[in-house]
Amino acid sequence: MPEISRDVRAAIRHFAFTLGNGTLAVPVLGDIDYRPELITFGSELEAVFTVFTNVLEVDEEGKVVNYDHAARRAGEWIRGYCDPDYREQPPFAPWETELA
Q: Is residue 46 part of a domain?
A: yes
Q: Is residue 54 part of a domain?
A: yes
Range of the domain at 86: 6-90
Interval 34-64: pLDDT, tens: 999 888 877 999 999 999 999 999 999 999 9
Q: How many domains, in total, are found in the chain? A: 1
Q: Are 35 and 22 in contact (CB under 8 A)?
A: yes
Peptide bond into 94 cis (omega under 30): no
Q: Is residue 100 part of a domain?
A: no
Taken as a whole, the chain contains a residue count of: 100
DSSP codes of every residue in 11-33: HHHHHHHHHHHT-TTHHHHTT--
Query: 64: part of which helix (H) or strand (E)?
Result: none
Q: Is residue 55 part of a domain?
A: yes
Question: 0.75 exceeded by the pTM?
Answer: yes
Q: Looking at residues 77-89, what average pLDDT do you find?
A: 95
Task: Name the residue type at position 6.
Answer: R
- pLDDT number for residue 1: 53
Q: Looking at residues 65-87, what average pLDDT do you find?
A: 97
- pLDDT number for residue 41: 79
Helix (H, G, I), strand (E, B) or coil at 94: helix
Q: Does 2 have pLDDT greater than 80?
A: no
Interval 15-34: pLDDT, tens: 999 999 999 999 999 999 99
